[in-house]
Each structure stands twice: as structure tokens, then as C-alpha cells.
Amino acid sequence: MTGDGSALHLVLSGDPGLFAIVQLSLLVSLSAVLFAALIGVPVGAFIALTRFPGREGVIVVLNALMGLPPVVVGLAVFLMLSRSGPLGSWGLLFTPQAMVIAQTVLVAPIIAALTRQTIEDLWVEYRDELTAMNVGPARRVATLIWDARFSLVTALLAGFGRAAAEVGAIIIVGGNIDGFTRTMTTAIALETSKGDLPLAVGLGIVLIFIVIVINALAWGARRAGERIAG
Amino acid sequence: MFNRRILLAAAAFGASVMATQVASAQDKSIVVSSTTSTQDSGLFGHILPLFKAKTGIEVKVVAQGTGQALDTGRRGDADVVFVHAKSAEEQFLAEGQGVKRFPVMYNDFVLIGPKSDPAGIKGMKDVGAALKQIMAKGAPFISRGDKSGTHIAEVNLWKASGVDIEKEKGPWYKSIGQGMGAALNTAGAGNAYLLSDRGTWISFKNKGDLVIAVEGDKRLFNQYGVMLVNPEKHPNVKKELGQQFIDWLVSPEGQKAIANYKINGEQLFYPNAADAGA
Amino acid sequence: MIMRAPGSELPVVFADVTIDVGDVTILDKISMFFSPGLPTVLIGPNGAGKTTLLRAAMGLIPVSRGSITWGGRDTPAPARLAIMFQRPVMLRRSAAGNVRYALAAASVARAVREECAADLLALVGLEGLERRPARKLSGGEQQRLALARALARDPAVLFLDEPTASLDPYATKAIEDIVRAVTTRGVKVVMSTHDLGQAKRLAGDIMLLHRGRLIENGPAAEFFARPRSAEAKKFIAGELLV
């Protein structure tokens, strides 16, 4: 990606460098949200529906983890994945997988905490009926997650927003390698430090636009779904 | 239930994404930890495609400050280190972390400052005297502060003028702990002086009111060296591929590629692998 | 739907049952039983404890003192009991979806759920509304849907908490017809109501509750013709019991 054109020019000309960066950004953040959901939704549902000692404390901690600073997560994952760290033999440092891992760690608490709140609220509503229908624990969890799916989509979107916007974690574990681990946010950081501010601003606008589009798609899906299922 | 099927499909997709990425990582590639000056100046963007075309090896550059780059090598997270602080590099070798140091190229540092020149040093030939004048006048000065080659050179220049900058700095001296480009941005915004390598300076697009204040002093000489991370300490190092990269850099072909990198007709780096003492 | 033998859940026996919630005594030393046959109707002013009694009989609330037994056992077989709450909660699905859900929870085979759901919706007068989101139904329609869900369990004992409270006379008649129909098929209905006329129409037995106590308990004809307690007399006369 040459720096002599404006970002708009790059977009309109379908510059392959820009396209690769956008593709990687989406791949990393969407994958992270997916994995974070696979972890966060069951954990959130479990906490919502199970009574155990220290539950209140766990909820407080979970909510607090929503505010994990990305750069701290990046550092922690970096230390784990470095060759001289415990998981060094996996050779994952400075790869897109490391970025996915870091963002998953960042986003999972958000999804878990929001899921917990959503499921708990819905359980309060459904408890009498589901108990009266003698619904077992497994089916109960599945029912709550399914019936709360639209609110859960909102939780996923919140997670995606966090992932797509952050740079601190992925720049540490990814290394911002040209053509390999460079995403929109890390490219913006780089172009800023190279002094190419118009390009950085242009990339920023492209990033915001993409995030808006994704939110609009999710909004549309939610509305359509609500109309069908109520 | 169909949502379970969706989850499985999504997990499979995610797994395949990870798998293909991992597979491509096993292709011919090496990780080179290098400095922000070589990245921000655009040198790698120019020479790496040539290397790949010749050997098929993908060079992944992680750009950090020299100190951080060497630390990355110490952790075994890079195959090759390519930095510009001879003393730190020799320390690296002494620790047994590197195999052998090859000089590659040089350029020089320049003392950058605002056009208005509040410290009155423009055109001075003695960089040590210029720095002392900046300190005397309390003119704002931005330091990389990140153990990079540039930072180490800056500290050494203060030392050569008899100033222990760590002890004698005042509020005029701002240590930002960031790369060359960020430092230039900060200096431009704050009408401050700073030491920069010429390569980054030439390619920097946000010069604003900044100009070169002092240049040409022999002490501003900036030598770059490359080393293979020691595979005996870090068995994962790709030593054949890494050595191929080093060999190419010091070969006539690689040296020519470095010399050919110009911005607006101005050469940024001068190859000197043949200079044994560099 | 299959007609079941009278449930082994009956008789449901309350032996000196007291239920406290915090400092408040909701039910106070209730002793009675529900036996197979015509519906038992609970009457009494608001706050008398009718809802709590129904929930306790359904096995949803633990007793503070005393005991409840179902067919002589300490715990009920949940599959044989069903309840329709006073303010039923609709699942976020269609009307038919709600009924299919209840059928699934009652272990009805997937292949027949569609048909059973359609039958049940027709029974409660909601045919044509299968695909409507349940939460968008009117209050009365939701109440009828809740009844369909309860019936989906093919219960031996059916508890109904004010089943026609928000229904117009037409829908009320439909529900009362269903009560009679399922009673004929062997289901024991235990319901509460505010409507003395409804009590007269449906009850085999009447239980009058007031402030958590069982004031009077007996065959409906007897109760209305010759009420024994002062409260019963006042209540039948239409006076407020405070």
C-alpha cells in the first residue's frame, strides 16, 4: 500500500494492500468474537443459573474484567506465547492466531458478563413457567439462550466493537508485520508514526464505516428476527 | 437444535482459519526483529520483495526499538536481528545470543529542530556543543527513551559532552518511550529538538516546521548490523533461512538494493558490508 | 391425547400445612385434601392465600410446617401435574411454538407435536393464531394459550389460578366448557376464582380461604345452601371479608 494516495483513492481503486488489511482486521476480530462467544455464553449462562458460594464476588469480578486494558491483555498473552514463555513451543507469537487469542481474552469477559445479565433477567421472567413445565437443567439453559438470542447478539456486537477498535493488544502480540499481521488499527498507528496523517485519517474513516455496516447488518437481522418470532 | 449446529459450523470455520494460518507459517519465512527507523523509512518495503523474488523466503519484520529488538532475539522470538547500536549488538554477542555480527549499511543521525531555532544552534558543526546549548537554554528536547539505537546514540552524545543526561535532565527534556515517527510528531507539535536518523527524517511526511539543525559531525555516524540469533540457545531458530537473508544483505546484490533506495532522489542508507571495522 | 387412569397423585393431602414467607404467614395450618372427581374451587378475597395454596399443591413452594403428600408420597411426579398461573408468561415464540415447547417438555414425540399443538390451540379457541408471536396476543388470548400449555402435559391434576379473570363472557364460557370436558376425561381440576357464579357452575367442592386459613370446606351444594361459618355467609352475601 503506497502512501502517496489518499485513503479514498485506495478504496475506490480497490488497492490490494488495503483490501488485505481490511480482510485481516475482520478475520481476526470476527474470529475472536466467535471464540469468545463459545466461551462466554456458556460461562455467563452458568453463572446466571447456578447458585454457588462466592457467586456475588464472581459477578463483580466478571463485570470488572469488561474493562481489561487491551495493552495489559496484549502483554500477558505476549509473555505466554513468547518462545521463552510457557506456550512458546506453539510458535504463535507474531501471527494472526496470537491476535485472535489476545482479542478472545479481551472480549470473552464482555460477552460472559452481558450474557449473565441477560440470562438472569430472562430466568426471573421464565422461572415459574419452566419450573411448572418440569424443564430439566440442560433444556432450561438452551431455552434461555435461544429465547434471549437477540439480546445476546447485542452482547456479541459489543464484543466485536471492542475487538475491532483496539490496537494495544494486537500490536504487541502480532508485531504489526507488513502483509501478515497488519490490521486497520495497527496500520493507522503505523501511518501516524510515519507522519502520513491524511492516510491514517482515511484508514480511520474506512474502519468506522466498516464497523457501522456490521452494526447495521446485525440491527437488521435482529429486527427481522423479532418480527418473525416476537 | 439448529443453533447447536450453527455453533459447530462456526467452530469448524474458526478452526480451519487457524489451521490455514498455521500451515502458511510453516512456509519459507523468517522473523526479523528490527528497528522503527528501517521500517518507517520504507527500506524494508523496498528490499524485501527483491529478496523474496530471489529466494522465495518471506521476511516478517517486527519493528521495535533496537533494545526491544535485541530482547526479542534473546527470547528466541526472532530468527535474525537487524539493529543499529554496535555496543548493544556486541553485548548481545558476548551473551552468546547471536552467532556473528555483520555490518550492513550506515547513515547518519541529524539533530532536528524547529525553524525558529530557540536554542540558536542552527548550522553548528559540533553536535556536542549544540546539545549543551540546548540544555543551557532549556529548549524543549524529545528523547526516544526506548533503548533504541537512536536513543543509545543520543545518550552517548550527551555523555561525550560530559553530560550525564539521566541525572542532569530537567523539565525541558521529554522522554517519550516511542518510535522515531512518534518522536518526530511530538517534536513537531511541541517545537522541540530531537535526534533522528536521516532515513526516517527523509521519509517522514509530517515535518511541519521542523528542519535539520545540525548535521555532518563525525559522531553522528550511524552503523547498522545484522546477526543470526544463536540456534544453540534457541533451537527453533530457522538458521539456514536466516543465514540466507544475512548472506543476501551483505552480498553485492543486496548491497546494491540498499543503495538504490531513494526518496525524491536522495539516498537514505549507504551499504558498507565490506568495511570490516564497521 | 390419551385418557389416563386417575392419577396416583391423588389424593393430594395437606396435613396442618403452614407456609411462612419471611415474617408473614401466608397459609396457616391448612388441613384438607383433593380427591378425584368434580373440580374443587377455591374462593376467598384477594390475599387469602389461594395462589400460594395452588403453587404448594403443585410442589413449587416448600412448606414451613406440616406436610403435603401426593398419593401418599412426599414428592409429586411432576409429569402428572400442570398449572396455569394467574399472570402467565409467554415464551418468546409463536403461539404454536409455546404449545410445542410444553409438549416437548412433557416428552411428547417430535413427530406428533405439530398436530397436538394444533389440536390444543383449537380446543382453547386460538385456531388461526398459531404463528402469531405469543407476546403479541391479547391478555385473554395469552391466558387461553397458557391453558393450552398446561393441557399439553396431559395432567392428572390441573391447577388453574383465576383462569378466566381477564376474559370476556364468550371466552369464559369456552374455558368453563374445557374444564367440564377434561373433568369428564378424568382430570382433576383445582381452580381459584373470584366469580361466585363460576364457582357455582363448576364446583364439586368449595374451599373458602381467608387470611391464610381454611374457613370452610365441603360439597358445593351444601356450601351455598347452608354455609356454616360467619365468613362464608358474608362472602356468599357479597360482603367484603376483611
C60: confidence class by pLDDT, cuts 50, 70, 90: very high
* Dihedral sign from CA coordinates of C160, C161, C166, C168: positive
Whether B82 and B164 map to the same domain: the answer is no
B154–chain A Cβ distance below 8 A for any pair: no
pLDDT tens for C96-118 read: 999 999 999 999 999 999 999 99
- Per-residue pLDDT at A214: 84
CA distance A54 to chain B (A): 30
- Per-residue pLDDT at C149: 95
What is the residue whose three cell numbers read 414428592?
A: C75
Question: Quick count: other Cβ atoms within 10 Å of Cβ B20?
Answer: 10
Is B205's CB within 8 Å of A27's CB?
A: no
- Per-residue pLDDT at A192: 87
How many domains is chain C built from? 1
pLDDT tens for A9-45 read: 666 666 777 888 999 999 999 999 999 999 999 999 9
C contact test, residue of A129, A141, A149, A151 with most C CBs within 10 A: A129
CA-based nearest residue in chain A for residue B30? A94
Residues in chain A: 230
Could you tell me where the beta strands, DSSP code E, fall in chain B? 29-35, 58-64, 80-83, 98-114, 141-143, 173-175, 193-197, 210-214, 221-229, 262-263, 266-267, 270-271
Whether B23 and B149 map to the same domain: the answer is no
Whether B79 and B183 map to the same domain: the answer is no
Residue B251 near residue B40, CB atoms below 8 Å: no
Q: Residue B276 falls within a domain, yes or no? A: no
- Per-residue pLDDT at B233: 93
Is C92's CB within 8 Å of A230's CB?
A: yes
- Per-residue pLDDT at B238: 94
The mean pLDDT value for C157-184 works out to: 91
Residue B179 near residue B65, CB atoms below 8 Å: yes
Whether B97 and B229 map to the same domain: the answer is yes
Ranges of residues in chain B with a pLDDT under 50 are 1-2, 24-25
Whether B130 and B210 map to the same domain: the answer is yes
> Does A147 have pLDDT greater than 90?
yes
Instruction: Say which residues have a Cβ less than 8 Å from residue A152's Cβ, sequence separation at least 6.
Output: A41, A114, A115, A118, A145
Which chains reach chain B with 3 or more Cβ–Cβ distances below 8 angstroms?
A
Q: Residue B170 falls within a domain, yes or no? A: yes
Whether B128 and B261 map to the same domain: the answer is no
- Per-residue pLDDT at A4: 45
Report d(CA C242, CA C239) in Å as an integer.
Answer: 9
- Per-residue pLDDT at A146: 92
Q: Residue C121 falls within a domain, yes or no? A: no
Q: Residue B117 falls within a domain, yes or no? A: yes
Residue B34's Cβ-count burial label (10 Å; 0-12, 13-18, 19+) is buried
Whether B27 and B94 map to the same domain: the answer is yes
Whether B153 and B70 map to the same domain: the answer is no
Which range of residues forms the domain containing residue C73?
Answer: 12-90+153-236
Q: Residue B277 falls within a domain, yes or no? A: no
What is the residue whose three cell numbers read 392428572?
A: C156
Q: Residue B87 falls within a domain, yes or no? A: yes
Angle, to 10 degrees, between the axis of helix B43-55 and the axis of helix B239-250?
A: 120
Query: What values do phi and psi take at C42, rounded to 5?
Result: -95, 130
- Per-residue pLDDT at C165: 85
How many domains is chain B built from? 2
pLDDT over 90, % of chain C: 76
For the CA atoms of C56, C61, C63, C67, the dihedral, rounded to the nearest 10 degrees, stands at 50
Residue B216's Cβ-count burial label (10 Å; 0-12, 13-18, 19+) is exposed
- Please name the residues between 92 and 111 in chain A that touch chain B, using a CB distance below 8 Å: 93-97, 100
Is A192's CB within 8 Å of B204's CB?
A: no
Residue in A128, A139, A228 closest to C89 by CB = A128
Which range of residues forms the domain containing residue B212?
Answer: 108-220
CATH number at B125 reads 3.40.190.10
In this structure, what DSSP letter does residue B257 have? H
- Per-residue pLDDT at A18: 83
Q: Residue B278 falls within a domain, yes or no? A: no
C contact test, residue of A124, A133, A223 with most C CBs within 10 A: A133
Residue A62 near residue A109, CB atoms below 8 Å: yes
pLDDT tens for C23-51 read: 999 999 999 999 999 999 999 998 899 99
pLDDT over 70, % of chain A: 93
> Does A1 have pLDDT greater than 90?
no
B5–chain A Cβ distance below 8 A for any pair: no
Which domains, from first to last, does chain A contain?
16-183 (1.10.3720.10)
Whether B102 and B124 map to the same domain: the answer is no
Whether B230 and B97 map to the same domain: the answer is yes
The mean pLDDT value for C150-157 works out to: 94
Residue among B194, B211, B208, B186 at smallest CA distance from B115? B211
Q: Residue C39 falls within a domain, yes or no? A: yes
> Does C190 have pLDDT greater than 50?
yes
- Per-residue pLDDT at B19: 58
Q: Residue B64 falls within a domain, yes or no? A: yes
Contact list in A for residue C85 (CB cut-off 8 A) is 128-129, 132
Residue in A84, A96, A190 closest to B76 by CB = A84
- Per-residue pLDDT at A193: 83
Residue in B7, B58, B62 closest to A38 by CB = B7
Q: Residue C97 falls within a domain, yes or no? A: no
**A166's grid cell:** 483496539
Report d(CA C6, CA C206) in Å as an integer.
Answer: 21
Is C135's CB within 8 Å of A147's CB?
A: no
Contact list in B for residue A91 (CB cut-off 8 A) is 25, 236
> Does A227 have pLDDT greater than 80?
no
- Per-residue pLDDT at C66: 94
CA-based nearest residue in chain A for residue B207? A195
CATH number at C175 reads 3.40.50.300
Residues in chain B: 278
Is B76's CB within 8 Å of A196's CB?
A: no
Report d(CA A106, CA A102) in Å as an integer.
Answer: 6
Query: What values do phi and psi take at C178, rounded to 5?
Result: -65, -40
Residue among B100, B12, B25 at smallest CA distance from B58? B25
Contact list in B for residue A183 (CB cut-off 8 A) is none
Whether B36 and B55 map to the same domain: the answer is yes
A9–chain B Cβ distance below 8 A for any pair: no
For residues C15 and A223, which has the higher predicted lDDT (pLDDT)?
C15
Q: Residue C80 falls within a domain, yes or no? A: yes
Angle, to 10 degrees, between the axis of helix C110-123 and the axis of helix C95-105?
A: 120
pLDDT over 90, % of chain B: 68
pLDDT tens for A151-170 read: 898 899 989 999 999 999 99
- Per-residue pLDDT at A3: 46
The mean pLDDT value for C192-198 works out to: 92
